Amino acid sequence: MAKHIGGMRMRTSIALLGAMLLTMLVLAGSTFELLKGQRLLLTQATRESQAQAAALLAGSIEQALIGAMRLPFQKLSNIPVDQIARARLQQVAREYPEIKEILLLGADMRVRQGFPTPSTPEQRVLVQWMADRAALEFVKNRDGGSSWHIAAEQIDGQSLLFAVQRINEWDQAEGWILMHFDLPAMFARHIQPLLNEFNAHQAGTATLAGPEAPWDDDALNWPVTRALPGWTVVVQPDSGRAAEHLRREQILILILTAALIVMLLMATFAVWRELRREHSIVALRNRFVANVSHELKTPLALIRMYAETLYLRRLTDPEKQHEYHRTILRESERLSAMIDNVLDFSRHQHLGEPYRLDERDLRETVLNTIADYRRHVEEQGLSVCVDCDPALPPVAHDRGGVRQIVLNLLDNAVKFGKEGGRIDIALHAKEGAVELSIADYGPGIPEVERERVRRPFERGRHPSAANGSGLGLAVVEQIAQAHHAGFRLEGVPGRQGLRAVVVFPVKEMTAT
């Protein structure tokens, strides 16, 4: 049955570990797919974000240019044409250095006066061309059109930016005002700062392209319709910054995934270790049950056999009867010690520290226990040598707990020390503590085995260790911990044997 349960536990643990490994593989695959989808989504989101930023930039450029060109017109609007002198035109031109020319046009779109006056035939032709272009714009928008228009044209590779407005918004017969603006100056003063700010905060490079600029399919192109007809804002995505942003997103996802995988690995290891520990405990308990069952059968069989013999009065020799009684007593004590160990171990497992620690004379407790057990030791052909300081400081301890420590250690010494014929017991005060040691002259326990035999259900490899429950030293360990005492196993210098040492702390007394 125990073997079947152990097999089921092992299969369950293997299935659980396999499920966790499969989960990690699925998680890794999902992570790579997520990264792939994240790349596409991030690229699309970046593109959309840059398109919105380009539209906002184009709108900002239009507002900046229109606002800059509107201001000088406000200085001359709604003033009768006969009151607009050349000096006034000169004053406005000087106040706004982006203006190259200011022209007053009559109702027939002919130049009446301007500043500066065109000095060459080419300039006069260009001025009249702008006037004709403005007249054409107003003819197209004659019915309900705006009183103010902007035009941007390319003439012989030269970019022209000019605007025209009625002198009197409600009377077209008064004529028009035409202003020719210096596009490079307007660009440097009103457009370039906007481009610089955009380039500093966006993952791309924005420029302003004229009608004759080559078209770039990879860039984002947004028209500047009102202020610069035919011109576009061109945003070239910064692949380095976009890639860096994408890399950061991927690294973040990889870190999160790695953290999840590490957590799964840790959980897998914890489950595997717990299952392995549970499997070991189950195996130890099964072995303990088998050992205890065997250990209980032997004394019970002897007790039953000798009791039946005495009950049926088959034995008449008084000496033999006495020997049978002694055997029954010895085996009963052996059973009692074994049961006490099991009960003490179970009680400490469930109750923690069931001992009452009072300041008492530890020397008295130890010597009384030795006196009660000395007869049993001597019956095994061993002698007990006690070395105890005459005056020891009080030690907080529970008499029953310390008695159980001494009895378990003496029982081990009797079991393994028969070859030496003697057990040495010492009780001395040492540096704020009282040290109890019990040493035998047996084969000892190798150093590598000393930690293992202190665990529950573990026994030594010597043939003498075959008898026993494997709980004696574990019970000593538990009781020592309940007394805040240290417990260790060590070799005996200069000879074979094993010494068990329990170090009880002494509470320091303050002077009054």
Query: pLDDT tens for residues 449-487?
Result: 778 777 666 665 554 544 555 677 888 888 888 888 999
Strands (E), 201-357: 204-209, 220-223, 232-237
Task: State yes or no: cis peptide before 184, omega within 30 of 0.
Answer: no
pLDDT, mean of residues 43-60: 79
pLDDT score for 286 = 66
Coil vs helix vs strand at 256: helix
pLDDT, mean of residues 221-239: 81
b or e along 240-256 (b: 16 or more beta carbons within 10 Å of the residue's beta carbon)? Answer: eebeeebeeebeeeeee
For residue range 375-405, what is the model confidence (pLDDT) as tens digits?
A: 878 877 888 899 998 888 888 888 888 888 8
Asked whether 392 and 360 are in contact (CB, 8 A), the reply is no
pLDDT score for 436 = 93
Cα–chain center distance at 321: 75
The confidence band for 435, taking pLDDT boundaries of 50, 70 and 90, is very high
Q: Is the pLDDT of residue 231 over 80?
A: yes
Coil vs helix vs strand at 231: coil
For residue range 89-129, what is the model confidence (pLDDT) as tens digits?
A: 888 888 888 888 888 887 777 778 778 877 778 777 887 88
* Strand bridging mode 148-155 / 486-491: unpaired
Asked whether 269 and 13 are in contact (CB, 8 A), the reply is no
Q: Is the pLDDT of residue 342 over 50?
A: yes
What tokens appear for 247 in the block? 């890399």
What tokens appear for 169 in the block? 């918004």
- Among 461, 388, 393, CA closest to 431: 393
Q: CA geometry: angle at 412 spanning 428 and 362, to 5°?
A: 30
pLDDT score for 25 = 67
DSSP states along 116-147: SPP-SHHHHHHHHHHHHHHHHHHHHTTTT--S
Contacts of 443 by beta carbon, 8 Å cutoff, 6+ apart: 416, 419, 462, 496
pLDDT: which is higher, 311 or 243: 311
Strands (E), 156-304: 158-168, 171-181, 204-209, 220-223, 232-237
b or e along 115-144 (b: 16 or more beta carbons within 10 Å of the residue's beta carbon)? Answer: beebeeeeeeebbbebbebbbeebeeeeee
HEC secondary structure over 457-482: CCCCCCHHHHCCCCCHHHHHHHHHHH
For 14-22, the CB contacts below 8 A with 24+ separation are 16/271, 16/275, 17/268, 17/271, 17/272, 20/264, 20/267, 20/268, 20/271, 21/268
pLDDT score for 434 = 92
pLDDT: which is higher, 490 or 329: 490
pLDDT: which is higher, 221 or 21: 221
What tokens appear for 411 in the block? 């029982």
pLDDT: which is higher, 167 or 3: 167
Q: Is the pLDDT of residue 502 over 90?
A: yes
Cα(168)–Cα(106) distance, integer angstroms: 12
Question: Measuring CA to CA, how many Å separate 143 from each of 40, 147, 150, 212, 245?
Answer: 50, 11, 18, 32, 53
Cα–chain center distance at 479: 40
pLDDT, mean of residues 420-431: 85
For residue range 64-90, what is the model confidence (pLDDT) as tens digits?
A: 888 888 888 888 776 666 667 777 788
Of 9-23, 292-306, 367-381, 445-459, the one with minimum mean pLDDT is 9-23
pLDDT score for 437 = 92
Cα(477)–Cα(342) distance, integer angstroms: 14
Coil vs helix vs strand at 309: helix
Q: What is the mean pLDDT of the chain?
A: 76
Share of the chain above pLDDT 90, in %: 4
Q: Is the pLDDT of residue 414 over 50?
A: yes
pLDDT, mean of residues 25-31: 67
Tally of CA atoms within 13 A in the half-sphere of 46 that contains its CB: 23
Cα(142)–Cα(3) distance, integer angstroms: 104
Q: Is the pLDDT of residue 53 over 60?
A: yes
Q: How many CB atoms lie within 10 A of CB 29?
A: 10
Cα(322)–Cα(336) distance, integer angstroms: 21
The pTM of this model reads: 0.43
pLDDT, mean of residues 38-50: 70
Bridge partners (DSSP) of residue 470 are none
The confidence band for 241, taking pLDDT boundaries of 50, 70 and 90, is low
pLDDT score for 104 = 83
Coil vs helix vs strand at 234: strand
pLDDT, mean of residues 245-272: 73
Task: Provide the 8-state DSSP code for 189.
Answer: I
Q: Is the pLDDT of residue 290 over 80?
A: no
Coil vs helix vs strand at 314: coil
Contacts of 111 by beta carbon, 8 Å cutoff, 6+ apart: 103, 104, 105, 127, 128, 131
Rg value, the chain, Cα: 53
